[in-house]
Amino acid sequence: MWKPSVCTKDCPDTCGLLAKVEEGRITRVKGDPDHPFTRGFICRKAGYFPQHVHNEERILTPLLRCGPKGEGRFQPITWEEALDRVAARIKEVCAEHGPEAILPYLYAGHMGLVQRHAGHAFFHMLGASRLLATICGPAATAGFEATLGSGPSTDLESVVDSDFIIIWGSNTLTTNVHAWPFFGKAREKGARLAVIDPYRTRTAKKADLHLRPRPGTDAALALGLMQVLIQEGLIDRQFLADHTVGFAELARRAAEYPPEKAAAICGVPTHEIQGLAVAYGQARAPFIRTGWGPARQLRGAMALRTIACLPALVGAFQKPGGGITRSLGGGPANLTRLTRPDLCPKGTRAVNMVQLGDALTRLEAPPIKLLYNYMSNPAAVAPQSALVLEGLKREDLFLVVHELFMTDTALFADIILPGASSFEVNWN
C-alpha cells in the first residue's frame, strides 16, 4: 500500500512523497506525481527515509540514566514509570524553586506544525520560563515582516511571467531545486537572471549577471540600488502613494548610499550596481527570490527589511510575475489556539535559546533545575557549546529528552522518552 506523506527535512521544497508500507514497515519512498509543486521528483535524501525510520539504533522504550551524566548508560523502564518520574520531578522543582526553574527547549525537529507547538500550552500553564525561539529564520522573518507584514510572500510559481529575476542569497539549484523549473520557464520566454551571492555557486554560474557583495553588506547594496532607481526616475510614484508609507524617509536614507559608496562597502563595482538597478527598474515584471544568506549576520534582519523595500519602489506587486518571495513555507499565521500564550502568567521570564549556555550555568533566581528538551539537540547545535555542555553535566539539573536516536544531548539525559518520526505522527 502506498501512503501519502511529505519530506520533513527543513528544505523549502517540502516534496510530496508516497511511502510504500508493507507489514507495518516503510519499504520504499518515492515522489508523489500529483504534488503540484514538486511533481514526483525528489532528491536522494528522501529515499533514505525507510532506513531512518526503521533504523536499529532507534530508541524504542523510555530510558532511565544509571551512570554518570553524559556517559550514556541507561536502563529501559516502562512509560508509566518514566512519566511518573518526570511528573514527580516537575512537582518537586515547582515546590522548591518555582516553575520558572523549568525551561522547555525545542526548535523544529521534523517540522510538524502541531508537534512543534503542542507543548507550549502545558509549559505556559505551568508558568515555566519561556523560550525565545531565535535560532535560524526569525531574524529574516522579522526583517521581512517589518517591511511587508506577516502575510504570504509572492507565489513562487508566478515567476514564470517575470522578465527579470534576482536570486539574492540562495543557491537555488542545490537547495531549492524544485523552484528552478519555474525560473527556467521564465528564461525560455526571455527573462534575465541575476544572482547576488558572495560565492560563485552552481546557481550563480547559470546566471546572466552575478554580483558578489562582501558577506554582511547586503543592506548597503540594496540602498545603493534604491538610490539609482530614485535618481533615474525608475520608481512607481503612484504605487508608492497608494500602497506604502515612509517613502520620503526611505529616499533620504537611500541618498546616503550613492552607488560609489555602496560599491566601496560591498566590493561590487559601481557599474554593476547601476546596471542591476536599471535592469530591475526597467523590467516589466521584476521578481526577487531571497534566501536566508543575507540574514545570517549581525543586523541580518535589517538586511532583509531593506531588500524587501525594492519591489514596492518599482510597483512590482501589481505586475503579474513580479514581487518577492522569501519563504515557500506556509501554515496558519496564528497558532495561539494551540500554543495558548494566555495561559502564561504575566511577567514570566524569557530565555533566549542562543544563550542556553548562560542559562544553564549562570542564571539565578531561580536557576534552571529542569530542562525539558524536545525537537532539538542543543549539545550539538546551540551556540555557547562549551557552556551548554558544562550546564548539561550539572548533577542538580534534571534533563528530559524526547528523541529518536542517542544524540549528544540525550547522552546527558536523566530520562529519555522515545520520539516519533514524521511518518509515525502523520498517519493514523
Question: Which residues of the chain form contacts with ligand SF4 (CB under 6 A)?
Answer: 7, 9, 11, 13-15, 42-43, 45-46, 177
State in angstroms the smallest separation of the CB of 6 from ligand SF4.
8
Comparison of 11 and 146: residue with beta carbon closer to ligand SF4: 11
Q: Which residues pair with 399 in a beta bridge?
A: 371
Comparison of 46 and 263: residue with beta carbon closer to ligand SF4: 46
Comparison of 146 and 177: residue with beta carbon closer to ligand SF4: 177
φ, ψ for residue 60, nearest 5 deg: -115, -5
Closest alpha carbon to 368 in 339, 336, 394: 394
**Count of Cβ atoms closer than 10 Å to residue 166 Cβ:** 26
- DSSP letter at 413? -
Closest alpha carbon to 354 in 41, 175, 188, 107: 107
Comparison of 175 and 282: residue with beta carbon closer to ligand SF4: 175
Comparison of 11 and 21: residue with beta carbon closer to ligand SF4: 11
**Count of Cβ atoms closer than 10 Å to residue 174 Cβ:** 12
Q: Which residues pair with 415 in a beta bridge?
A: 64, 400
State in angstroms the smallest separation of the CB of 8 from ligand SF4.
8
State in angstroms the smallest separation of the CB of 39 from ligand SF4.
11
- How far is CA 108 from its chain centroid? 8
Task: Give the CA-trace dihedral at 319, 321, 323, 327, to 10 degrees.
Answer: 160
Comparison of 64 and 177: residue with beta carbon closer to ligand SF4: 177
Q: Tell whether the torsion through CA atoms of 225, 228, 233 and 234 is positive or negative.
A: negative
φ, ψ for residue 348, nearest 5 deg: -60, 135
State in angstroms the smallest separation of the CB of 49 from ligand SF4.
9
* Helix, coil or strand: residue 348: coil
**Rounded to an integer, what distance in angstroms lies between the CA atom of residue 408 and that of residue 385?**
11
State in angstroms the smallest separation of the CB of 28 from ligand SF4.
14
Cα three-residue angle 365-370-373, rounded to 5 degrees: 130
- C-alpha dist (Å) from residue 351 to 105, 125, 365, 384: 10, 17, 13, 14
State in angstroms the smallest separation of the CB of 44 from ligand SF4.
8
By the 8 A CB rule, do 289 and 304 touch?
no
Q: Which residues pair with 211 in a beta bridge?
A: 196
Burial class (CB in 10 A: 0-12, 13-18, 19+), 177: middle
State in angstroms the smallest separation of the CB of 31 from ligand SF4.
8
Comparison of 18 and 356: residue with beta carbon closer to ligand SF4: 18
Tracing cell 515582516 back to the chain, one arrives at 145
Comparison of 178 and 319: residue with beta carbon closer to ligand SF4: 178
Tracing cell 533566581 back to the chain, one arrives at 365
State in angstroms the smallest separation of the CB of 200 from ligand SF4.
23
State in angstroms the smallest separation of the CB of 206 from ligand SF4.
18
Comparison of 178 and 369: residue with beta carbon closer to ligand SF4: 178
What contacts 403, CB < 8 A, 6 or more positions away? 59, 377, 409, 410, 416, 417, 418, 419
Comparison of 14 and 376: residue with beta carbon closer to ligand SF4: 14
Comparison of 30 and 185: residue with beta carbon closer to ligand SF4: 30
State in angstroms the smallest separation of the CB of 203 from ligand SF4.
15
State in angstroms the smallest separation of the CB of 47 from ligand SF4.
8
Q: Which residues pair with 296 in a beta bridge?
A: none
